[in-house]
Chain A
Amino acid sequence: MTIKNMIENWAQFRKSGQVGDEYYDHADYRWGMVIDLDTCIGCNACVTACYAENNLPVVGKERFGRGLGMHWIRIERYWQTGEEGEKKTRYPEQGAQYIPMMCQQCEQAPCEPVCPVAATYHTPDGLNAQVYNRCIGSRYCSNNCPYKVRYFNFYSYSETWASPLEQQLNPDISVRDKGVMEKCTFCVQRLRRAKNDAKNENRLVEDGEVQTACQQSCPTQAIVFGNLADADSRVSRMWKKHNMAYGHREDDKQQKTERGYRVLEELNTEPSVIYLERIRDENI
């Protein structure tokens, strides 16, 4: 019974769930990512790939202008402006700076506990999962997401794929209807297939065996994806090289070559995506 179960597993159920005291201690996988902003050229190939892979609807100009776009990954552009009276920008030759922004798959995700029906939760491999079928569309998760990377189906977009466009839909993933929240999944359908294949062969997924769509399409290979639980994976080595880890603070940096940072890390969301700073003139 549940009471017996509760007493037996009390210590487990009371694990705070914060980094270092997690419920899933010995999981084989923990998916993580590195995005090198120095190589990112802001070409939007990743965005296009994401649209194709994840059956994202194209909402049209008018609705996009109203802020209803469904791009799970977006290239944010920022221009550096100086104070009044100073030179307008510090690096005028650099123009805009890009940052590809998608769900950061936070370890301590603010979006998860606020869902009234538990439609979003933390998977053993460290993903921030969204269960479309369970979602009732209270939109609290999006409000509480500091990165604003959760996208809501404000309309039914099934007409977007007028025949024969529906032929290009990815059969591995559902098409969401109106009233449901959705977001980047690290291409969970690919992860699932890779894990299943590996399991059939009695092994773990090898490094580089699975790629996310955005990573796959990046012409400059700015995106690195892999298993953080595997200390030898490329993504683990890059995290280590830049002195990044869960619980890490930007103050912990030792040398200038460590370029890693996480967006809005002061909010203690512990994202699984790290960004490598752009190398600036002053760094050289």
Chain B
Amino acid sequence: MAKRHHMLALFNNFDEVREAIIELKVMDLREGGVEEMRMTSPIPHPELEEVIGARPVLVQRFTFTGAMLGLICGFLLTAGLAQSMFSVQPQGGKAVIPIPADLIIMFEMTILLGVWFTVFGFLFGARLPRRRSHLYSRRVGEDQVGLLLEVLDSHYERVKNLLWQHKALEVMEDS
């Protein structure tokens, strides 16, 4: 297996990183060499994500599953518990399984599980929680845009030069 280099290049702003990304992309399409490319930024930048190559986000599927699960659980909880009382209780002219009252619990449970599953979906999609790699700069949280690259040994020097050409402020490596 060919040796790979992991590196993080820091840029001053999105416009500079954009140029670098496009050039790296073109190089990668022509002859390969860039195994992985990620941008890390202080704010989200949907347009640049498109350039890098957006992948589908699956959070909404989690949300939907959670919401449906909540709806069903809500009903089973209320209806199930109403008839599992030590004595089944008709009360005040209301049925043992009262639909209007159950609907309210179902509504709340839909949201409760929906919210939790959304958060789980996000954690799953974003691959969190995880240990922070050494390739990280606190400047990314501040005002610099980083480019995380995994490069084959054969292209290492070229990529590095390319990054410097595009006004990279710093290139950190961890091989």
Direct contact of A and B (CB under 8 A): yes
- The complex places the Cα of A15 from the Cα of B99 at a distance, in Å, of 11
- Flag whether A23 is at the interface (Cβ < 8 A): yes
Complex partner residue of A111 from B85, B90, B92, B96, CB under 8 angstroms: B92
In the complex, how many residue pairs between chain A and chain B have their CB atoms under 8 Å apart?
A: 76
B76 contacts A14, C-beta separation under 8 Å: no
A98-120: contact bitstring with B at CB < 8 Å (1 yes, 0 no)?
00000000111111111100101
A108 contacts B93, C-beta separation under 8 Å: yes
Q: Which residues of A contact B82 (CB under 8 A)?
A: 13
- Flag whether B171 is at the interface (Cβ < 8 A): no
Complex partner residue of B93 from A6, A16, A115, A118, CB under 8 angstroms: A16
Complex partner residue of A6 from B79, B85, B101, CB under 8 angstroms: B79
Interface hub of B80, B92, B94 (most chain A Cβ within 10 A): B92
Q: Which residues of A contact B95 (CB under 8 A)?
A: 13-17, 23
Counting contact residues on chain A (CB < 8 A from B), the size range is 20 to 34
B92 contacts A113, C-beta separation under 8 Å: yes
Counting contact residues on chain B (CB < 8 A from A), the size range is 20 to 34
B95-106: contact bitstring with A at CB < 8 Å (1 yes, 0 no)?
111100100000
Question: B84 to nearest A CB, angstroms?
Answer: 5
Nearest chain A residue, comparing its CB with the CB of B82: A13
Complex partner residue of B80 from A6, A112, A114, CB under 8 angstroms: A6
Complex partner residue of A18 from B84, B85, B93, B96, CB under 8 angstroms: B93
- Flag whether A122 is at the interface (Cβ < 8 A): yes
- The complex places the Cα of A111 from the Cα of B89 at a distance, in Å, of 14
A113 contacts B80, C-beta separation under 8 Å: no
A50-89: contact bitstring with B at CB < 8 Å (1 yes, 0 no)?
0000000000000000000000000000000000000000
B83 contacts A109, C-beta separation under 8 Å: no
Complex partner residue of A109 from B92, B96, B97, B101, CB under 8 angstroms: B92
Q: Which residues of B contact A120 (CB under 8 A)?
A: 91
- The complex places the Cα of A107 from the Cα of B47 at a distance, in Å, of 66
- The complex places the Cα of A114 from the Cα of B96 at a distance, in Å, of 14
Question: B32 to nearest A CB, angstroms?
Answer: 56
Known: A6-B79, A110-B92. A118 touches B97 (CB 8 A): no
Known: A19-B93, A109-B92, A110-B92. A13 touches B85 (CB 8 A): no
A1-32: contact bitstring with B at CB < 8 Å (1 yes, 0 no)?
01101100110111111110011100000000
Question: B80 to nearest A CB, angstroms?
Answer: 5
A118 contacts B85, C-beta separation under 8 Å: yes
15 pairs of residues in contact across A and B, judged by CB atoms under 8 Å: A2-B80, A6-B80, A9-B83, A13-B83, A13-B95, A16-B94, A16-B95, A17-B92, A23-B88, A108-B92, A109-B93, A112-B91, A112-B94, A115-B91, A122-B90
Q: A23-B96, A109-B92 are in contact. List 12 more A-B contacts (CB 8 A).
A: A2-B80, A3-B76, A3-B80, A13-B79, A13-B97, A17-B95, A22-B90, A108-B92, A108-B93, A109-B91, A112-B92, A118-B91
A residues near B (Cβ < 8 Å) are 2-3, 5-6, 9-10, 12-19, 22-24, 106-115, 118, 120-122, 270
- The 9 closest A-B CB pairs, nearest first, are A108-B93, A112-B92, A23-B90, A112-B91, A13-B96, A121-B89, A113-B92, A18-B93, A13-B97
